[in-house]
Structure 1
Amino acid sequence: MRGRPVLAGLLGGLAAAGAHRVLTDRVRSSRWTRTNHAGSEVTLLEGPAWVAGGVLGAALGGPAGALAAGASGALGALDDLAGDGSSKGLRGHLGAAARGRVTTGAVKVVGLGVTGLVAAVLLDRDRDDVRALDTLVGGATVAGAANLVNLLDLRPGRALKATVLAAAPLLLWPAATPHAVRSRVHAAAAAGAALGVLRPDLAGTAMLGDTGANAAGALLGTALVGRTGRRGRVLALAVLTAATLASEKVSFTAVIESTPGLRELDAWGRPAR
């Protein structure tokens, strides 16, 4: 089982890259096309490609990661294909629901919560060091991570870089127990799938969309929850909640572009314009 993280990363990367080539060659529907921040047409088929790689790689670590990535990707696809874009952000979707209008975004919010909880239950079912409350917090952490990565998918490469950077400490963290090794597998699958589709994303010809970004965040959240107990999960959930609430008031892009180091990292790999 010790070699599974490496295999998961390789499988995730190769599957994501291969799926992206096949999908972009064969799918011609305009429903998967968007206009990006620069006014260029991009394909959202990178999202399903990432899901294919992420799910295949994560499956080597048990059902929790594969379910989290697959279900979150499906919920993201619902928003990508059926969302009307009239309501933005968590506040917008909740506000619409309060007025009696159920948006695809609101369905996704509920669905991500359920998905996160099921993933946490699967992770915790063979652990004696966690309780029901810890599992509830873990489920919310998975859902929060799925949402946060989606909030970063605003510039080429940004969400994928964040996925790889977030996975790195989970991969370097020593793994002495079976659930820790499974966490490494999930982190490796997330990073591998991200690297597999990084090139077209940086080139500005494709983007994750809700499909890929929600799936990537959910798999990262699953990897984190698999390594932590109550304290770690509460801390992670607090950070995710604070970042989500901040996104309603502050532009992440403005913060990144005004911060040395973050600005250069964010721009790295994009073609000069």
Structure 2
Amino acid sequence: MYTYLMLLMLFCIGIAVTLICIPMLNRMLDECGMIRQNFRGDLIPVGMGIVFIPAMVVNSVILLFSNVDSERMLSIYILLFGIMAMSFAGIIDDSIGNRNVTGIKGHFKSMFKGKLTTGGLKAMLGGLVGLLISVTISKSLSGIIVGTLVIALSTNFINLLDLRPGRAIKVYLFLIILSMPFCSNFNREIMMIILPSVIAYFYYDLKALAMMGDAGSNVLGVSLGIFVVLSFNIKVQIVWLILLILIHILTEIFSLTKIIANNKVLNYIDKLGRN
């Protein structure tokens, strides 16, 4: 009973805090000139992914207050650290990012030539964040390597999806909800740190009222990677890692948007609810 009441409380508080913050942050970004053309050419605020942070902090405080177990508290701080770090990298890319270089391959090519792009900084930071978290969670070399790659590639995976309104959040929600029945009760509570905020913001992203930008897609991606590493054994992590590698190889060769557009089922789901 306690678990379900805690989940309900975290859900309601996360929704409420996010809905209160959305109009204020939307106006702030607009007044600061943080606006960009979307795929339709409309100018809308970008970087709205920072709206996930207030509710995340509030729900983390509640969970930390209600848990005295050091391992559980460490898991909360791991998620907080990962989200804060990647949101920071994302807002840098949203505000001063250069769009001349695209794709993870392109960013690494630039780095090897001595030119650091904001996308390259984001990829590098994603790897380092994944490494730090994996070393904290696992002491085996295989666990550290797999965990690092899972967190880093999960972050970039959601970033790859965030090219059309609602697409990245749809995939994120599907994967998180799919995994919840197989997680422990506490890991479900961990998920509730960020999940309610994403649900509350979903309408604004789907209707192209604002862009969450890398400040948002990084948060979703890194939280997904951390959930996988915290909740599942290394066999499951390896399966997810193989899928991530295949997706990244595919997107380096083909356009993900074209792949979705050419598939009737995927195209229908992709456009569902969008204006």
Question: Which residue is 1:49 aligned to?
Answer: 51
Distance 2:85 2:10 in 1: 19
Amino acid in the other structure paired with 1:92: G
Q: Work out which of the residue numbers 114, 121, 124 in structure 2 matches 1:107.
A: 121
Instruction: Report if aligned partners of 2:47, 2:94 keep a CA contact under 8 Å in 1.
Output: no
Q: Which has the higher helix share?
A: 2
Unaligned runs of at least 5 residues, structure 1: 125-129, 176-180
Q: Percent same amino acid at aligned positions?
A: 24
Q: 1:99 to 1:121 in 2, by over 3 A?
A: closer
Instruction: Report if aligned partners of 1:8, 1:188 keep a CA contact under 8 Å in 2.
Output: yes
Question: Which residue is 2:3 aligned to?
Answer: 2
CA deviation string 1:82-117 (max 9, x = no partner): 212121111111111122211111111111111122
Instruction: Report if aligned partners of 2:47, 2:214 keep a CA contact under 8 Å in 1.
Output: no
Deviation of 1:174 after TM superposition, in Å, equals: 5.0
Instruction: Report if aligned partners of 1:93, 1:106 keep a CA contact under 8 Å in 2.
Output: yes
For the residue of structure 2 that corresponds to 1:34, the secondary structure is strand
CA deviation string 1:32-52 (max 9, x = no partner): 211011111121142111233
Q: Work out which of the residue numbers 14, 20, 24 in structure 2 matches 1:18.
A: 20
Q: 1:84 to 1:45 in 2, by over 3 A?
A: closer
Residues 260-269 or 67-76, more deviating? 260-269
Instruction: Report if aligned partners of 2:176, 2:224 keep a CA contact under 8 Å in 1.
Output: yes
Question: Which residue is 2:38 aligned to?
Answer: 36
Q: 1:236 and 2:240 equivalent?
A: yes
Distance 1:75 1:264 in 2: 32
Distance 2:7 2:249 in 1: 33
Question: Which residue is 2:66 aligned to?
Answer: none
Distance 1:83 1:11 in 2: 33
Deviation of 1:55 after TM superposition, in Å, equals: 4.8
Q: Work out which of the residue numbers 157, 160, 169 in structure 2 matches 1:160.
A: 169
Question: Which residue is 1:127 aligned to?
Answer: none
Length-normalised TM-score, structure 1: 0.87
Distance 2:136 2:10 in 1: 19
Q: 1:150 and 2:159 equivalent?
A: yes
Deviation of 1:9 after TM superposition, in Å, equals: 3.4
For the residue of structure 1 that corresponds to 2:36, the secondary structure is strand
Q: 1:235 to 1:219 in 2, by over 3 A?
A: same
Instruction: Report if aligned partners of 1:69, 1:218 keep a CA contact under 8 Å in 2.
Output: yes
Question: Which residue is 1:88 aligned to?
Answer: 102
Q: 1:86 to 1:187 in 2, by over 3 A?
A: same
May I ask how many residue pairs the two structures share in their alignment? Answer: 260
Q: 1:133 to 1:5 in 2, by over 3 A?
A: farther
Amino acid in the other structure paired with 2:173: V
Instruction: Report if aligned partners of 1:73, 1:211 keep a CA contact under 8 Å in 2.
Output: yes
Deviation of 1:10 after TM superposition, in Å, equals: 3.3
CA RMSD after TM alignment: 2.0
Amino acid in the other structure paired with 1:29: C
Distance 2:133 2:224 in 1: 12
Q: 1:49 to 1:203 in 2, by over 3 A?
A: same
Unaligned runs of at least 5 residues, structure 2: 64-74
Question: Which residue is 2:92 aligned to?
Answer: 78
Distance 1:11 1:253 in 2: 35
Question: Which residue is 1:205 aligned to?
Answer: 209
Amino acid in the other structure paired with 1:244: H
Q: 1:258 to 1:76 in 2, by over 3 A?
A: same
Amino acid in the other structure paired with 1:154: L
